[in-house]
Amino acid sequence: MAHSVALKSTVSAFALAVMASPAFAEGDGGSGGLPQLDFTTWPTQIFWLAVSFTLAYILMSRVVTPKIGSVLEERHSRLEDDMERARQSAQEAEDMRLAFEKNLADARSDAAEKTRATLAKAKLEAEEKNADVNKRLASKVAKAEAKIMESRAAALAELDDVASASAIDAAASLAGIKVTKTDAKKAVKNAAKSMPAMEQN
């Protein structure tokens, strides 16, 4: 590519050199004929053609073309660098996206696992508290039942005594009979035994 540019530039410079050559100028102001057909000027034209072509080729190949080539190479290198940076940026963005999605999935899984563990722990604590409460309630109920039974036994004992005393007083006042305490208690017990049978009838 650089050589083709140099060749085109050399041809253009050669055309300008021919037009500016002394022979071309002399032919213009002389007889009015075409200077290209004047064979006497050919050696001079060929000489200046060779000199001009050589100088133009050297100038283009040593100065102009390397600069153009370096500019094109630098631009190509810059484009390659930009493309490489763009590819790296795209890859980094993709890696960041994948890492973010992985972190998000891990966070969701961790949160779900912690939630399950918390619920299981709360359920276990609630069951333990319920068991403890039930145990305490059962103990209190047992104690209350024991107290009730004791109170009932005491009340029945007192009731027997009261009934016996009432029976003795009633027998003494009504029939004028003295009844012993033992006989009165037996009579009360027999009466208490006969009461369920009467209620059933």
Confidence of residue 25 (pLDDT cuts 50, 70, 90): very low
Residue position matching structure tokens 């590819």? 87
- How large is the average pLDDT for residues 178-194? 63
Question: How many helices (H) and strands (E) are present in the chain, helices listed first?
Answer: 5, 0
| Sequence-distant (≥ 6) Cβ neighbours of residue 108 within 8 angstroms | none
Quote the tokens at residue 125: 């604590």
Percent of the chain's residues with pLDDT above 70: 60
Closest CA to 13 of 47, 45, 59: 59
- How large is the average pLDDT for residues 150-171? 69
Tell me the Cα Rg of the chain: 66
Enumerate the domain spans of the chain.
147-200
Res 164 pLDDT > 70: no
Residue position matching structure tokens 């370096």? 70
Q: How many CB atoms lie within 10 A of CB 36?
A: 13
Q: What is the pLDDT of residue 100?
A: 93
Cα separation of 75 and 197, whole Å? 124
pLDDT tens-digit profile of 63-83? 888 888 888 999 999 999 999
pLDDT tens-digit profile of 26-54? 444 444 567 667 778 788 888 989 999 99
